[in-house]
Amino acid sequence: MHRYRIAWMPGDGVGNELLPLGIKILNTLKFKADYIHCDIGWEKWKNEGNPLPDKTISELKKADCGFLGAITSKPKEEALKALKPEFKDKNLEYRSPILQLRQKFNLHTNFRPCTSFVGNKNNHKEDIDLAIFRENSEGMYSGVEFYPIPSSVFDAIENQNKNMRKFRIEKSDDIALSARIITKTACKSIIQKAFEFALLNNRSSVTLVDKPNVLREIGSLFRQVALDISKNFPTIKFQEVNIDAMCMWLIKNPNDFQVIVAENLFGDILSDLSAQLVGGLGFAGSANLGDNFAIFEPCHGSAPKYYGMNKVNPIATFLSIKLMLDWLGEKFLSDVLFNSIQMVIKEEKIGTYDMGLKNSNIELTDEICKKIKIRLN
């Protein structure tokens, strides 16, 4: 087996607790890799004024892929207050390091599988097997924002769109603007990947989720690209659902959907909603995929109040490891890991508090490792 180089980013809070458990799983799988520790997150922001150090970017460029534990992110005002005094007057601006990574490495696709495991008491319904494809770096996450709005920006928009005029009565420092930007290139990329996944994994439908009846320009572009691409996949049913209706239908009939594709903000909302359908964020792994690079991460936050208690569910981390193994071409090890997780959950004997059981995440990890050893032998 090739020896891999993994940029290993524990980040904040429970990320520092869960990633060592991830290495234990990988070692049990006899996966050969060097794990290069990389700093990232809230503590780096507070103490150095930069949540994504240049050294971390440099190490990522030398790695086969990256793995992220968890990140603490807070609103603009709280971020500024948290800085050490020597950084407060340097006009620094906090930007999510996850978003920075996605944009710096062109990780255009966020892939979120949502699977209901037999034996999970928190399943909303059984037999849920969703795959969500979320555009990962554009839309409302493009980073084009103004507060207050410069007069030149206001005037330029007003000259092109009369709807801006109604805001003229407001003071400039009473108006904030965040631009929802998406390119045709990004639309094509995410929609093509959703259809290709459906074809390769015997999924019969792809559902585009947006709000084109209100958000007309981006909605129209996204929709037209999807309609064009769908013609190349005649065996796959293509359907469109508005974001508000989709939130309802996912709760009512989640089994009606197989592959969902959405722009960044709507995909973010739907992927967390879907995670709850299968037990919560403790079961939500994800992959940030580019053309030649990828970063994997569990979808939960840093949960600082639980750090050090060994109670946070590690399965989201392990499912993200499964996605990493898939991407690296280690399909056998990926299957061994997934089947071992399935078996432990099905037995309903060992599990964390969110699974209705009383074990630590260390005990849950050890039980999964036992199943892995049995399968490897």
Please write the tens of the pLDDT for every residue from 171-216: 888 999 999 999 999 999 999 999 999 999 999 999 999 999 999 9
Q: Using a cut of 0.85, tell me whether the model's pTM lies above it.
A: yes
Asked if residue 118 is part of any domain, the answer here is no
Predicted pLDDT of residue 1: 67
Residues 72 and 23 in one domain: yes
Question: Residue 116 gets which letter from DSSP?
Answer: P
Residues 204 and 297 in one domain: no
Q: 282-296, pLDDT tens digit by residue? A: 999 999 999 999 999
Residues 104 and 159 in one domain: no
- Arithmetic mean of pLDDT, 339-360: 97
Residues 356 and 260 in one domain: no
Asked if residue 150 is part of any domain, the answer here is yes
Helices 315-328, 331-347: crossing angle, 10 deg rounding: 160
- Arithmetic mean of pLDDT, 41-58: 96
- Arithmetic mean of pLDDT, 335-351: 98
Asked if residue 117 is part of any domain, the answer here is no
| DSSP one-letter string for 249-308 | HHHH-GGG-SEEEE-HHHHHHHHHHHHHHBT-GGG-EEEEE-SS-EEEEESS---GGGTT
The residue from 277, 301, 332 where one domain ends is: 277
CATH code at 191?
3.40.50
d(CA 257, CA 203): 9
Give the neighbor-by-neighbor strand order of the sheet with 65-70: 33-37, 4-11, 65-70, 294-298, 285-289, 109-115, 129-135, 259-262, 205-210, 237-242
Asked if residue 330 is part of any domain, the answer here is yes
Query: Is residue 141 pLDDT above 90, yes or no?
Result: no
Asked if residue 116 is part of any domain, the answer here is no
What type of residue is 104? K
Is the four-CA dihedral 237, 135, 321, 310 of positive or negative sign? negative
Domain ranges, residue 170: 145-178
Asked if residue 245 is part of any domain, the answer here is yes
Residues 266 and 128 in one domain: yes
Residues 172 and 189 in one domain: no
Residues 5 and 99 in one domain: yes
Asked if residue 25 is part of any domain, the answer here is yes
Mean pLDDT score of the chain, rounded to an integer?
96
Predicted pLDDT of residue 173: 87
Number of domains in the chain: 3
Residues 202 and 218 in one domain: yes
Residues 64 and 87 in one domain: yes
The token pair at 75 is: 């609103």
Residues 233 and 205 in one domain: yes
Query: Which of 19-23, 87-91, 152-156, 283-287 is predicted least confidently?
Result: 87-91
Residues 156 and 236 in one domain: no
Query: Is residue 333 pLDDT above 70, yes or no?
Result: yes
The residue from 244, 277, 310 where one domain ends is: 277
Residues 216 and 86 in one domain: no
Asked if residue 167 is part of any domain, the answer here is yes
Query: Is residue 246 pLDDT above 80, yes or no?
Result: yes
- Arithmetic mean of pLDDT, 70-98: 92
CATH code at 11?
3.40.718.10
- According to DSSP H, which parts of the chain are helical? 15-28, 42-48, 54-62, 76-82, 97-104, 151-160, 184-200, 216-230, 243-252, 264-277, 315-328, 331-347, 361-376
